[in-house]
């Protein structure tokens, strides 16, 4: 089963790469510039906020800037793996092409999640990594090699959590294809990952509940990278990621019972 889906994903990835390189050279320039603007904006905004202070809530200025860089790394990988496919889902439902997917001999959730790889998002990841190395150098932040491995593993859980939240929202499109902009709520809340979790403890409990999953996505891996992660932090991220994935999976299967094709 694993080999089957690996082959399918490789084929989809090859198609995505072919599409990407079909662009003209000026399109590549626009993609690179656009990615760079977002990366530097995220980091520069944190630099402005922390200009007059050495740190907040136990995070030094350098660590906060590193957090902003890591945000771009994880979001870039997430964009590469899932975002383009999720964006296309409403069109599949509206045009009736989703019917064909349901007839294919593999899992419909897998295909709708991975049909198009966002190759351009990898540029954001590479820029984020480069800036993270630069921030660690100028602020003398030492990262142990083993912590990089732990960070990578925690980032997989973070990607699972982000995926589950977005897929859960995207599933509502099956009932009402015209509200595909519901995912804009996800992208708005996702930006909260640039800030430490401790920042939101001063706000109301209701807001904190909504903000917490998006903040955990990055705060926990960042703590692990800096050697400050606790067993509770890891367990919290693991439980939340797995539970959210299972909920989104069951919700998808439930929604498919009520799907009616565009021709019906």
Highest mean pLDDT pick, 40-44, 54-58, 214-218, 244-248: 244-248
- The region of weakest confidence among 54-68, 108-122, 154-168, 189-203 is 189-203
Burial class (CB in 10 A: 0-12, 13-18, 19+), 255: middle
Instruction: Tell me what pLDDT residue 253 has.
Output: 94
Tell me the three state secondary structure of residue 60: strand
132 near 73, Cβ under 8 Å? yes
| Averaged confidence pLDDT in the chain | 83
Residue 30 has pLDDT above 70, yes or no: no
Q: How far apart are the first and last CA of the chain?
A: 33
Nearest to 9 by CA among 116, 100, 102, 84: 116
pLDDT at 28 over 70: no
The whole-number pLDDT of residue 129 equals 93
What pTM did the predictor assign? Answer: 0.88
Predicted confidence (pLDDT) at residue 244 exceeds the cutoff of 70: yes
Q: Kindly report which listed range (61-75, 142-156, 192-206, 242-256) carries the lowest average pLDDT score.
A: 192-206
**Does residue 2 carry a pLDDT above 80?**
no
The domains of the chain are located at 2-256
Structure tokens at 15: 């198609």
pLDDT tens, residue by residue, 100-150: 888 888 899 999 999 888 888 888 899 999 999 999 999 999 999 999 999
At residue 219, the pLDDT reads 86
* pLDDT for residue 29: 67
The structure tokens 């009736």 sit at 96
Distance CA 40, CA 71 (A): 12
pLDDT of residue 195: 73
Query: CB neighbours (10 Å) of residue 222?
Result: 28
pLDDT at 154: 94
Q: Which residues pair with 60 in a beta bridge?
A: 55
pLDDT-derived band of residue 81, with 50, 70 and 90 as boundaries? very high
pLDDT above 80: residue 26? no
| Per-residue pLDDT at 262 | 59
φ, ψ dihedrals at 55, nearest 5°: 165, 170
The band of 20, judged by pLDDT with boundaries at 50, 70 and 90, is confident
If one compares 73 and 29, the residue with the highest pLDDT of the two is: 73
Burial of residue 242, with CB atoms counted within 10 A of its CB: 0-12 exposed, 13-18 middle, 19 or more buried: middle
The 3-state DSSP class for residue 117 equals coil
Distance CA 213, CA 222 (A): 15
Taking alpha carbons only, the member of 173, 171, 201, 170 closest to residue 183 is 170
Sign of CA dihedral 236, 237, 240, 246: negative
Structure tokens at 223: 């703590």
* Residue 104 per-residue DSSP state: S
pLDDT at 180 over 70: no
């Amino acid at each position: 089963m694993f080999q089957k889906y690996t082959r399918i994903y490789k084929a989809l990835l090859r198609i995505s790469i072919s599409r990407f390189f079909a662009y003209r050279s000026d399109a590549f320039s626009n993609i690179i510039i656009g990615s760079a603007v977002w990366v530097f904006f995220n980091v520069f905004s944190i630099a402005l906020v922390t200009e007059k202070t050495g740190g907040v809530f136990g995070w030094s200025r350098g660590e906060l800037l590193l957090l902003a860089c890591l945000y771009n790394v994880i979001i870039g990988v997430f964009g590469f793996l899932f975002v383009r496919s999720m964006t296309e889902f409403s069109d599949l439902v509206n045009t009736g092409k989703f019917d064909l997917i349901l007839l294919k001999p593999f899992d419909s959730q897998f295909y709708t999640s991975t049909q198009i790889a966002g190759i351009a998002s990898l540029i954001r990841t590479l820029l984020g990594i480069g800036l993270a190395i630069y921030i660690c150098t100028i602020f003398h932040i030492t990262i142990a090699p083993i912590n990089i491995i732990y960070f990578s593993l925690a980032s997989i859980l973070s990607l699972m959590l982000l995926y589950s939240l977005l897929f859960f929202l995207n599933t509502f499109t099956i009932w009402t294809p015209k509200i595909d902009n519901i995912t804009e709520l996800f992208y708005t809340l996702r930006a909260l990952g640039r800030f430490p979790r401790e920042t939101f403890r001063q706000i109301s409990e209701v807001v904190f509940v909504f903000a917490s999953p998006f903040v955990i996505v990055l705060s926990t891996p960042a703590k692990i990278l800096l050697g400050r992660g606790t067993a509770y932090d890891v367990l919290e991220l693991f439980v939340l990621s797995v539970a959210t994935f299972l909920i989104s999976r069951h919700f998808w299967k439930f929604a498919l019972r009520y799907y009616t094709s565009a021709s019906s």
